[in-house]
Amino acid sequence: MTVNSVGESRRSAVLPWIGTAVRLGLAAVWLLAGATKVGDLAASGRAVAAYEVMPYDVAKIVGAALPFVEIALGVLLLLGVATRLAAAVSAALLVVFVAGITSAWVRGLSIDCGCFGTGGQLAPGQTPSYGPELLRDLGFLALAGFLLVRPHTRISVDAIGGHHPKEEQ
């Protein structure tokens, strides 16, 4: 056995476990984000409206639907069902979140992103934390990107039967 084949064998054994940790971590993020909003859908709508990128009535609908989308993504990732698809939707949603936060920052809005709670306009004198919010969401985007490239994980419905399509190297 060559040194390269030993290294490749170790990598092949470890990557699905790393993917499992990534999948479960991203699932926890979505479940927490959705759970913190689902109890007050009106507040979630107001948080979306605070970004001032769509009409208020549309923002209310988007805000009311968002927690359910986040919970659905969390459940899919937790169970490991359609992992690559859930990762793709996660990545798309995170790109929208990053764009929204960046837009609010550039336009000088003073809002709480509403990512893990009700969000909305900040009280006078409060300072938004756009930098850390962007870094956090970019980190979550990296996790989703990992799962897009390597959706093969352990302890998942996708893995039942032991068949996994050959992944790109």
C-alpha distances out from residue 84 to 20, 62, 145, 152, 169, Å: 13, 24, 9, 9, 16
Residues 45-57 have a mean pLDDT of 96
**10 band by pLDDT with thresholds 50, 70 and 90:** confident
pLDDT of 41 above 60 = yes
pLDDT of 56 above 80 = yes
Instruction: Give the pLDDT confidence score for residue 161 in this predicted structure.
Output: 58
- Helix/strand/coil (H/E/C) assignment for every residue in the chain: CCHHHHHHHHHHHHHHHHHHHHHHHHHHHHHHHHHHHHCCHHHHHHHHHCCCCCCHHHHHHHHHHHHHHHHHHHHHHHHCCCHHHHHHHHHHHHHHHHHHHHHHHHCCCCEECCCCCCCEECCCCCCCCHHHHHHHHHHHHHHHHHHHHCCCCCCCHHHCCCCCCCCCC
**77 band by pLDDT with thresholds 50, 70 and 90:** very high
Instruction: Give the pLDDT confidence score for residue 119 in this predicted structure.
Output: 86
Average of per-residue pLDDT values in the chain = 91
Query: With a threshold of 0.85, does the pTM exceed it?
Result: yes
